[in-house]
Structure 1
Amino acid sequence: MTKLSVNINKIATLRNSRGGDVPNVVEFAKDVQRFGAEGVTIHPRPDERHIRYQDARDLKSEVYTEFNIEGNPIESFVNLVLEVKPTQVTLVPDAVDAITSNAGWDTIKNKDFLVDVIKEFQNNDIRTSIFVDPVLEQIEGAKETGTDRIELYTEAFAHQYSLGNKDAVKPYTKSAELANSLGLGINAGHDLSLDNIKYFKDNIPELLEVSIGHALVAESLYMGVENVVQMYLHRLK
């Protein structure tokens, strides 16, 4: 079964909009785990516009499943991850002013940088994953960095699937097949939803984990968090 990691950034966005502590991100993380989620994901950005660095520290003792921290490995992010020591760190090449992640790494051009950062995290017993587009050369480049896993950037698939183009999954299938042959673990995330998750999962061999936040929180407004988590788990079986 593919693991479901719930990205709780949107809960922090809602909290920050009023300047208080409602909804509480730690309580939400505890709830989704209680409802069956196998992981919690956060993506702190330098301006802390949703998840704050302190949230990562507060969540450390409360995430008893898998704790995944995503972000661009600038110095402050690296220091935070080394302090908190989550289960997994996912490296994302997002710009400081990016609304959301919008591209994978060029693993060839950034090889030396990624090798050094990944080695530092692995030396501290933190599993590493890097955000990549479904491009075979980039998958091969990811292998050369020494990363444990890749996270397939699924925005293109989700958009095309919504238009009825199911063939959009083919580059992801080929990328997954290559990653498996290279011994890389496979995660996926971005714009996955209840509508497309089963089809995606069924076409990605050995998919280990999906990280879902925006869609899951939006769907929960209508159907309830516990119910939506259970619906995802059912589709991922």
Structure 2
Amino acid sequence: METETLAMASEIDFSMLALFARATFAVKIVMLLLIASSFWSWAIIIQKIINYRAARAQADAFDQAFWSGEPLDELYDQIEANPQGGSQRIFAAGMTEWRRSHRQDGGFIAGAAPRIDRSMDVAIAKETEFLNGGLSFLATVGSTAPFVGLFGTVWGIMHAFEQIALQQNTSLAVVAPGIAEALLATALGLLAAIPAVVFYNKLSADSDRIIGGYEAFADEFSTILSRQLDA
């Protein structure tokens, strides 16, 4: 009897496609949701890595130009039409408000310094929103995917027990397929969650460093403009 049971179990296809095909409708929906979440998470991860690398390169290039000794007005005229990167956009926002604050007699409109700071703060906020876009999705996938997979597992095991009760047979050939299908949902949940959590932490730290660089540049630029206003 045991030999016959093992022979029957060996004939069952346990490939991922076969397990998916045999799963119940609810478990299939769970699996498809987890697979889609995993693909979307990887798309966000790859896009963010490219964006952050470009942001760092653009910030380094602009820092060299900014501290090269070139007059700020000439630098602004070069990038005003098409600023590239967060540092250039922050610089352009500050210089735009700087020029708007000039009176016709050469003086400055009262409250120029606070307005310049606010203009750069708005530009930093926009860059922050761009850099952090999509990270909340990674956090959501990382925190919920294991539980979604667990739901699929519980549902699949419940269905497996129903089949055991209907067939009144607890042999390996009856139990194994249902348990395997159920556990596949948990595996997919972990497959989606682990990369999402790891890269969410990494990308959040990278974003904070880039934004910190923008804020430091804005403070330095504001100090330079404040000295000229006082003079």
Sort the TM-score into its range (normalised by shorter chain).
under 0.3
User: Greater RCO between the two (CA within 8 Å, min separation 6)?
Assistant: 2
Which one has a larger percent helix, Structure 1 or Structure 2? 2
Structure with bigger strand share is 1
* The structure with more radius of gyration: 2
TM-score, with structure 2 as normaliser: 0.21
